[in-house]
Structure 1
Amino acid sequence: MKDKILFYTSFPKPITGQTIVTQKVWDLLYNDPRFVCFKINTSSSTIVKKFFTFISNYFLLVKFLILVKPRFVYMVFSSSKLGCVRDFFSIFIISLFSNVKLISHVHSGNFGLEFLNFPFNLMLKYNLERVTTIIFQGKQVNFLGSKYDYKIKYLMNTISSEFSISDNEFKEVSCLRKKNFENSGKIKLFFLSNFIISKGYLDLFDSYELLDIDVFDKFELHFIGFWFDDRSKSEFLNKVTKSSRSNCIFVHEGLSDRLDVKKLLVEMDVFIFPTYYPVESQPLSILESFSLGIPVVSTYHATIPEMIEDGYNGYLFEKRDHNQLLNIMRGLVNYEIIEYLSLNARDSFNKRFSEKEFESKFIQLLYA
């Protein structure tokens, strides 16, 4: 008999790291003959819609629990206070059905730190005591202490196979990158994320501006992402225009399709991500880069040190430390080093972050 699993969480849209991974989990289990999957999409756009969505979803949840009788319920813990309240009522309803195994996935890098005061601390305690399994993406983002260790499992994310490439394609891409370098003499560095200050795009720009003349000329710098406000966009584009190195700086915005992003990345050499974003957990952009054999330079932050092996598949540096970043960038002028890191980045993805690896471990967690 097939096991029934109810997904009670948000799906794309919006496009976020959490919704992308949720869709990935859904796709894996939906296509697995051992499971029958059901979905309640909790996404909503405005505050008013959120309220009515919460209420209607509670009725839907009761309906599914009574009629479908799922063995598993999969939900994502929220890191916001409003989300904590929503989770409290959802878990209260689910806990009325004692035969249900509740799997809660954590995607934020600060889960629990916002719930230290009354009444959220009591709600969090209630929620944690009633879930069956809590999934974190890494030990660096687990702030719950040892009390719930028996419920906690660790699972790194994966990405869609559509974004990745085969081993033969990787060889072709590697040859293309090297040929581009030999023809242009330029190494293509890039930033990929939403344009949020704490994601580090200004840190990268400022570090690039400080590079010695004989070094910066060996690089192209590409910024890829989305803007949240016109003022920040205007200020940054103005900085780029005024830069004496503007002919080597390129800004790509509004790429909503990840396959369009992939087409751009296959020509890139190194991903630089100076993030200190407070709720960072496990950036999917690092996995996307590894899957294409792109080494990553990033910070000792969230689960990133659990993904990047310094000097093997990329480099790590302290948050906001421009001098460390500058020294790393100076070392990247040697293309043989980039080739070495690239092979290891690809190997890291295949061994640790592939779809097959994720599916196998996730199903083990379900039945643990």
Structure 2
Amino acid sequence: MDLTFSAEERAFEQEVRDYIASSLTPEMKRATALTPSVFSDPDIGMAWQRALHKKGWGAPGWPVEHGGPDWTPAQRWIFEAECARAGVPNVNVMGVKMVGPVIIGFGSPEQQNFYLPRILSGEDYWCQGYSEPGSGSDLASLKTRAERQGNSYVVNGQKTWTTLGQYGEWIFCLVRTSNEGKPQTGISFLLIDMKSPGITVRPIKLLDGECEVNEVLFDNVEVPAENLVGEENKGWNYAKFLLAHERTNIADVNRAKRELERLKRIAKAEGVWEDMRFRDEIAKLEVDVIALEMMVLRVLSELAKTYEAGAGEWNLGALPPGNAEAQTKNIVAFRIPLSRVETKIKLSQNRELEDRQRVIARLEASDGQDAKATARWMKRVLPT
């Protein structure tokens, strides 16, 4: 396993670092630091998407013919690592990393020519219509129905937990087009304009007071039949393809490393760093992050071999069975429990102070953005 980078790759690393330094505005960086979610504010995320698109880096994982930068696996790793280190905003993940690859893999040429450039340029903001009331982990039981009527599908039903759906201009949906056979065989994949008559978006307020997720209701919504991706009743196959991309993206070792360092700063600033039980928790997380990083680098080494052999893409199917592919499955199943430790910090910090208002006042008076963000969280969630 070769985990070293070549001189060319180091030069590329510097190029990425320089471009981020010149293009990431203070407003973008500040907004990202204050965002409590893994999803950036759409305005900020799309501004960063446009900056990357200007450089030709708008979709690192896409093929060249659809606007990708033709990077090797090592270059993509370097790019993601530098973005995480610098704290750049997340782009529209549902567009670039989810529906984009599905359209590339299974969409018609007309769909590719229309949707992909708009995703790359940051023109369209996408959201995901999968989960329903009663159909979450058992997604195949979904009931939102699309009936073919002439040149259109008429969609009726409800989606829930739709992340940032209140900002969505398009939504990719799993809909039921048949009740015959297994539940999975009657599902289709539709692209729906969120401005269509009959769509209602209802924000869901979460514990922190934010409305990151939504209900989306469809009442006789007409969708052009040309918006069907691939074949009717084959949507389950496309959904599995998409979920593989989504789950692999969850294992973001570089952002995990950055967030772990942020937790350490908060802990030291708020007086819990000397608690040995707390530091044990941090040490366990640090070991997990290092193990995850080594796992990713092993996969990277194997991917580089397939790339150099002529594959020219991130082709997990070309990897030796039982080797990097199996490691990738471990990555997919991995979750970094940073939020659990962060909650412990917020609930246990400054227990020696009798008045929580004094803690909030001190945090608000601090120059550190992490402290100010913690103060806002405490004011919203904790009794004062």
Instruction: State the TM bucket, normalised to the shorter chain.
Output: under 0.3
The alignment's TM-score, normalised by the length of structure 2, stands at 0.24
Higher helix share: 2
Higher strand share: 1
The alignment's TM-score, normalised by the length of structure 1, stands at 0.25
